[in-house]
Structure 1
Amino acid sequence: MYQYDCIIIGGGPAGLSAALTLGRARRKILLFDNGTNRNRVTQESHGYVTRDGIKPHEFKEIAITELQSYPSISISDQTVIEIKKDDQQFVVNTSNNISYLTEKILLATGIQEEFPIPQIRQYYGKSLFSCPYCDGWELKDKPLAIIAESEAHINHMTKLLYNWSQDLIVFTNGHQLSDIIQNEFQRKKIMVYTAIIKNLHGDEGNLYSIELETGENIVRSGGFVVPSFYRPNNLAIQLNCQVDENGGIITDNAGRTTVSGVYVAGETEKAGPSSLMIAAADGFKAATSINLDLTLLRF
């Protein structure tokens, strides 16, 4: 059976950053990446200094090229389906029926989105987005839609987006807003439609208008949505990692979970969205914890 110091599951910025750090620390690393990272649908990634505007696949290609400089790092596109604790080690099983042994596990599989309206996915990453810091600049001063169902999310996203564009219309998809929020938006000339959304219209990912069940068809050229997020696998549950009341994986703030030998980095930890830069920093932080723990164990 193949033996590693650490197996990293997830090839997003957190996993790639951790692999680089551990490879440079001369640890034998296996990185699993099955290509399902959620930013694969994005045309450009923003906010990562020296890489602003880079395409996600180019970002990953550069990272993998860098990792290949370190002979102790291996990369696999297999999907991990099960992890079991075996004495002081972990057995990692893949969908290809291959098993691997490792002393440490880093979970960096990220999260995935669920949308209140299925058609959103046709436009997501091209004209509809979820993070103003990532994509607000490209949509500045355009007629934008805000699609969300929770009043707290609507209030936060609308106020935030007003800095990028003041031509905003809120779509609640059948949910009502309090009079306080309605009046506050009205003072800023922000319209609110509470009718259920019937359809989105556009072409090749470019949004043109939003059709409501009332028959109204409101012209918009893009916008922002507030999806719900979930972890794409139950590996943390398999490993008995403790979670908090919000579903976040409990850590020591340095990547260590409540299970000895299991670490977490990036969006996997909080089951919420993060930027490339923050996720990469989380990967670095978790990797230094892993390397320190291996050092103290073996010295």
Structure 2
Amino acid sequence: MLLDCAVIGGGPAGLNASLVLGRSRRKTILFDDNKPRNAVTSESHGFITRDGINPQELKRIAREELGNYPDVKIEKQRVLSVAKKNGVFQITAEDGGIHNAKKVILATGFKEVLPDIQSIKEFYGTSLFSCPFCDGWELRDRPLAVISENQPAFHLAKVVSNWTDNLIVCTNGKRTLSADEKVILESKGIKVYEKKIRSLIGEKGCLQKIEFDGGEAVLSDGGFVLPEWVQATDIGIQLGCNLNERGGIETDSWKKTTVEGLYACGDTLMAGPSQLILAAGEGSMAAISINGALIEEKFRE
């Protein structure tokens, strides 16, 4: 059977795209291996009517809602490859099954590579986070740290200062801040530590202090880390998509990639804040765009 669309990735972007496609009576298959980037996260924020929900509970509700639409099928498995032949996409799943579709949405997101700091994974998702708009409220008015080895440290520090007046910046041995940036930060009471971090110290995921080479330690209840972002899969690259400056899939405003019939949305674009509500909106836009393209193709026949 030739499907209207295959959606690869079952996060908010892929789920919302599938919902809109199902409501548009499009034969759709959603692939989700349930290995999300935010697996360590226990609460998701900033999504109206679902603020504070567990991400897996959000997915359960979404899948239950998709069950109301008979044209949407969910495959709980990974996609191994996608090829385009004679204008049709051939999707190979990990069970060996091959599915053919007129259109494909990439909603695979990205993976985070954390800085090489001892014990950082013990605190990530509990007292160290990546998005202040998602978790800044819970950490408000506490002594916090921004940990970053790259240039956006200055910007992130300015943003995080919205939630606390007790803030430090740690570059883990990298000199990524300019002299002017350090002067500006310190003029606002934000101290910069450029020594390499020896270890993060705390209990049960709750950070208590940061220890640097040489023995100096600073108290901190948590904060924000800037991980490196990499594509979760190389499907878009293999199909020939152009990438943006951050390594995300390049699209136009309707979520069309540079490959005809291929769309991308959500964190796959690496183009802005990583928030559920933005990803879901982009999934909706991609689905609306595909539905419009299919309608136009029908009337050209």
- Matched length: 297
Q: Distance in 1 between matches of 2:104 and 2:140?
A: 42
**Other-structure match for 2:181:** 181
Q: Distance in 2 between matches of 1:188 and 1:37?
A: 37
Structure 1 residues 160, 287: CA separation in 2 closer, same or farther (over 3 Å shift)? same
Give the residue type in structure 2 aligned to 1:13.
P
Quick check: 1:31 aligned with 2:30?
yes
Taking structure 1 as the reference length, the TM-score comes to 0.95
How far is 1:87 from its partner? 1.0
How far is 1:44 from its partner? 0.8
Is contact 2:231-2:247 (8 Å) kept? no
How far is 1:272 from its partner? 5.6
Give the SS at the match of 2:280: helix
How far is 1:271 from its partner? 6.1
Is contact 1:265-1:286 (8 Å) kept? yes
Percent of paired sites with the same residue: 46
Give the residue type in structure 1 aligned to 2:226.
V
How far is 1:165 from its partner? 0.4
Q: Distance in 1 between matches of 2:33 and 2:221?
A: 33
Is contact 2:106-2:268 (8 Å) kept? yes
**Other-structure match for 2:156:** 157
**Other-structure match for 1:262:** 262
Q: Distance in 1 between matches of 2:247 and 2:152?
A: 18
Is contact 2:4-2:103 (8 Å) kept? yes
Quick check: 1:225 aligned with 2:225?
yes
Q: Distance in 1 between matches of 2:250 and 2:174?
A: 33
Q: Distance in 1 between matches of 2:189 and 2:246?
A: 35
Q: Distance in 2 between matches of 1:64 and 1:244?
A: 31
Deviation larger for 69-78 or 17-26 = 69-78
Give the residue type in structure 2 aligned to 1:249.
I
Q: Distance in 1 between matches of 2:130 and 2:244?
A: 24
**Other-structure match for 2:4:** 5
Q: Distance in 2 between matches of 1:106 and 1:79?
A: 14
**Other-structure match for 2:293:** 293
**Other-structure match for 1:171:** 170
**Other-structure match for 1:237:** 237
How far is 1:90 from its partner? 1.0
Give the SS at the match of 1:155: helix
Q: Distance in 2 between matches of 1:244 and 1:165?
A: 33
Q: Distance in 1 between matches of 2:19 and 2:55?
A: 18
Give the residue type in structure 1 aligned to 2:144.
L
Is contact 2:17-2:284 (8 Å) kept? yes
**Other-structure match for 1:115:** 114
Q: Distance in 2 between matches of 1:169 and 1:196?
A: 14
**Other-structure match for 1:76:** 75
1:157-208 alpha-carbon deviations (Å, 9 max, x no partner): 1111111001111111112333322222222222221110111112222112
Is contact 2:10-2:31 (8 Å) kept? yes
How far is 1:117 from its partner? 2.4
Quick check: 1:128 aligned with 2:147?
no
- For 1:186-225, list aligned pairs within 5 A: 186-225=186-225
**Other-structure match for 1:91:** 90
**Other-structure match for 1:280:** 280
How far is 1:246 from its partner? 4.0
Deviation larger for 266-275 or 212-221 = 266-275
How far is 1:123 from its partner? 1.3
Is contact 2:230-2:247 (8 Å) kept? no
Taking structure 2 as the reference length, the TM-score comes to 0.94
